Amino acid sequence: MTQGFALFETPIGLCGLAWGERGLVGAQLPEAAPGAAWARLRRRYPDAVEGPPPPTVQRTIERINDLLAGGRDDLTDVELDFSVVAPFNRRVYEIARAIPPGETSTYGQIAKAMNEPGAARAIGKALGENPWPIIVPCHRVLGADGKSGGFSAPGGVETKARILTIERARTSAAPTLFDLEFSVAPQRGR
């Protein structure tokens, strides 16, 4: 049972978390319209009461803000209530959680890690149902060709690209601005 939810500002906009007795039951990424994030949380968790987060949830909020400001926290120890998802999805989410900030994987690589080589589409579906975006970093999973694939969170692939940019993730073999080494001209008179 969901006990509560709270909205909070982040570098990418208004996000939210919902929690229960066994950990977080959901996370919410920013919506385009004012009030939409609150409305979506109310629809997803109609029995939840909006209020101040307990200390563990407040710490998670701080860590999410740090990550979305360019930090490297992987959030893997955040307590999630996996009873709200199917067993297959849980396996997908556990593998996705192991992808560090700034790195990416593919649907096929996750299928291989699960020992289910033909499951790439099912993995994409599971990630599309991810109730904990950011904490279960579905944004770090790309198509086999390095393209973004889908992203069911508000803002779609634009939001995915924005978060990957914040994390300085490599999404292709092409060099990025982060790969360039800048030289400093020698001082005059030498």
Q: Supply the residues annotated as catalytic.
A: 138
Q: Two tokens at 76?
A: 């893997």
* Cα–Cα separations (whole angstroms), residue 60 to 17, 27, 47, 73, 75: 9, 11, 22, 10, 8
Shortest CA distance to 30 belongs to which of 58, 50, 11, 5?
11
Q: Rounded to an integer, what distance in angstroms lies between the CA atom of residue 116 and that of residue 92?
A: 11
